[in-house]
Structure 1
């Protein structure tokens, strides 16, 4: 196995890939007509949407509007050569990885076995004849997604906010 992996090479250089990504996002950001805070904030949100949609797995939390406002004030006063530095510094300091809370993680792990047990118990009830027609491969993921959505919404309603 080790020999096979050594033949594959080192893969993509992460610093070059990161530099290409930041360069592309910075060019995309600078090409927009940004004259006020709303357009600046929309451009920042567009960057996060692009990155979170493109990268599988980990996602990044969007900074608070107050933090974006402070960055915009510094960015608006700077000349063209300083704008890139301000934007990069803002992204380095204010961007954080989103984290799952324990409740969501436990709900995601406990739901599939519970869904299978509920389906098996429901198949023996005469009033739930329809449940036999639903394949396990559709029922279990659907129940898991619904449980995760309800866990997220209940935490949002109780706490007022949840890391997304």
Structure 2
């Protein structure tokens, strides 16, 4: 299982040969796309990252930001670039931008705190007369559901906060 992860990084030997083979396959998949404008180009890049994340078990890789893809698109559509150089540009871009997705501290804390909090909420909610329907929900359904909802709320609120900070 660790072999798939070694394809995406490492230097020398089998890892670099494997990386060349993987990048060649990704490039071939990318070139086969019908790309007419930036939107098609952007979708093709995101499709490549989706392919990487679906093919490799375990950790996932973040797609690059739109501005980085825009710079690649401008290089790609430059008439002075030869077809042979496009593969090098693509490979350099992928090597630079294939980064592991990082879990932030707030997600870890929420994942650890949410299950006990869900149990406390369920137990206290069962004693309230207008929330007696909570008794019908089994703990094995309520706790994971509450945990997932808490993680979603943390992730969405963090993205909204980051958007607000970025727009300021």
TM range (shorter): 0.7 to 0.9
Unaligned runs of 5+ in 2: 7-14
Partner SS, residue 63 of structure 1: coil
Name the structure 1 match of 2:37. Answer: 36
Give the TM-score, by structure 1 length.
0.79
Say which of 89, 112, 125 aligns to 1:109: 112
Unaligned runs of 5+ in 1: 1-9
CA-atom RMSD, angstroms? 2.5
Partner SS, residue 32 of structure 1: coil
Aligned partners of 1:128 and 1:48: how far apart in 2?
45
What is the number of equivalent residue pairs in this alignment? 153
Name the structure 1 match of 2:10. Answer: none
Aligned partners of 1:154 and 1:51: how far apart in 2?
27
Say which of 70, 92, 100 aligns to 1:97: 100
Moved more, 32-41 or 129-138: 32-41
Kindly tell me: are residues 11 and 124 of structure 1, through their superposed partners in 2, closer, same or farther at Cα, counting changes over 3 Å?
A: closer
Tell me if structure 2 keeps the 8 A contact 1:155–1:161: no
Moved more, 96-105 or 12-21: 12-21
Name the structure 2 match of 1:59. Answer: 60
Tell me if structure 2 keeps the 8 A contact 1:60–1:95: yes
Moved more, 111-120 or 17-26: 17-26
1:47 is the counterpart of 2:57:
no
